[in-house]
Amino acid sequence: MSFNEPQPASEHLLEVKNLTTRFYMEDGVVYAVNDVSYTLDESETLGVVGESGCGKSVHALSMMRLIPIPPGKIEAGEVRLHGRNLLELDDEEMRRVRGAQIAMIFQDPMTSLNPVLTIGSQITEALKLHQGMNNKEAQERSAELLATVGIPEASQRLDDYPHQFSGGMRQRAMIAMALSCNPMILIADEPTTALDVTIQAQIIDLVRRLQDKLGMAVIWITHDLGVVAGLAQRVNVMYAGCLIETGPVKQIYDYPHHPYTVGLLGSLPRPGDPLGTRLLSIPGEPPDLIGLLEGCPFAPRCTYAVERCLHEAPTLEPTEPGHMVACWEKENVRKAK
């Protein structure tokens, strides 16, 4: 079945249904992504937050079918782009989707860019593959893209290698590559992690401006809830490979229902807090994802946990329109908040 065939009608741009990914290692099976479901609409920005190792990046790589197989394996689920399930496409069809339909910016541009190829050759490759441009057209478009993302003397910098760019410039070049074919969805996987605060702000502002200009949807993966507050309309909170709370940013930030979300938000300084206000910390450590967890994965760290939490995993249930949470004690958490 070709991606270019007529596609079933869908009210959402992207639908992720029951996405489940495992890694089969010598020490056991890693339950990296567990039954994750959500939607993304056109021009929407969705934040995906959680601690390191919670499955944020693996779920995105699974959507792009970029996890190493073996040891990884997408065990179940659907990733529907305009109704077409990407997990059912053959390798050649999926290559035509990556970059052209969905593009991704990775955490570390130094390891994502090929060190022995010029910046220009890495951008023009996608333009030739997906847009059918000749070398001259691809060169001109590449210079235009570098200028768009704020790299001065763009046409002269096409012949530079990644090591000749600063960290911020390398990330801008990665954004230029990701946007080269006007994708419908941009996945930004912690793109500002290795950058200083000033450059972080510039990159975030750049993505926001480009999104307004191009009308693409953005999935912004981060551990920084402050970034999500100013960038996204909706947020997914992940823990131990599970989606535990999802909804509009303002609603979740003002009225979190999951104790993990409460802990994450409590660790952030807030404008207007009195001098000396203590930040909260979440006790304990994230669970080892080798082996299937029994009950709620957050229960060992949760001050609200009851006997049921230890033996029965909660499912996402609505609390308000568009706001869902997986917690047996959500009402008590809400009252305490």
Per residue in 69-85, pLDDT tens? 889 999 999 999 988 99
Q: Predicted confidence band at 258 (pLDDT cuts at 50, 70, 90)?
A: very high
Q: Predicted confidence band at 6 (pLDDT cuts at 50, 70, 90)?
A: very low
Three-state SS at 188: strand
Task: Supply angle C-alpha 171, 172, 178, rounded to 5.
Answer: 90
d(CA 116, CA 83): 39
Question: How confident is the model over 128-184, as pLDDT tens digits?
Answer: 877 788 888 888 888 988 888 888 888 889 989 988 888 788 888 888 888 887 889
Q: Predicted confidence band at 2 (pLDDT cuts at 50, 70, 90)?
A: very low
> What pLDDT does residue 1 have?
40
Tokens found for residue 334: 């809400």
Which residues lie across from 282 on neighbouring strands?
none
Between 337 and 53, name the one with better pLDDT: 53
Is a pLDDT exceeding 90 seen at residue 24?
A: yes
Unique residue bearing structure tokens 């010029």: 118
Q: Are strands 323-325 and 242-248 parallel, antiparallel or unpaired?
A: antiparallel
Percent of the chain with pLDDT over 70: 93
Cα 65 off chain centre by: 14
For CA atoms 137, 138, 144, 145, give the dihedral sign. positive
Q: Give the predicted TM-score (pTM) of the model.
A: 0.86
Unique residue bearing structure tokens 């010598």: 26
